Amino acid sequence: MDGSEIAAGRVPLSDLTRRVIGAAIAVHRQLGPGLLESAYEECLAFELAWNSIDHDRQVPLPLEYRGQRLNCGYQMDLVVERQLIIEVKSVVQMPIHEAQVLTYLRLSKHPISLLLNFNTVLLKQGIRRFALSDLAYSAPSAPLR
């Protein structure tokens, strides 16, 4: 399987996420924990290119408000094959970053996202997967007064 098969839509998202996680593990094995997020992002982008996986870096994510697209400064670290958002972190705690990834999914309408925290002894402890289909929205039961 190569990048052209993914680009043509012939590879399931599960295979794409598996390939991206494999690339992230390769980076983590080489570098270990403790570096800046920018170093991990740069090396992961290199590893994705090395494996012929199409990706874009620092992709702007406009906010739509009253029918207008507004640039509010949101940027997704990596978008792989125009389907998979990758958010790269090197932090101790993750909750606020999980909310960030969920917001990116909702705004971008991409089907899936990986939150990769490289500040762990084993990378598998720092991987979180989110899917747009998992987001549940409910309207308030009564208007606010």
Helix (H, G, I), strand (E, B) or coil at 28: helix
User: Which residues fall within 8 angstroms of residue 124, CB to CB, at 6 or more apart?
Assistant: 25
**Helices 37-50, 13-31: inter-axial angle, 10-degree rounding:** 120
Residue 142 pLDDT more than 60?
no
Distance CA 140, CA 135 (A): 16
How does pLDDT run across 46-92, given as a tens digit for each residue? 999 999 999 999 999 988 888 888 888 889 999 999 999 999 999 98
Strand partners, 114: 86, 129
Which of 27, 43, 16 lies closest to 126, judged by CA? 27
Q: What per-residue confidence (pLDDT) applies to 100?
A: 86
How does pLDDT run across 113-127, given as a tens digit for each residue? 999 999 999 999 999
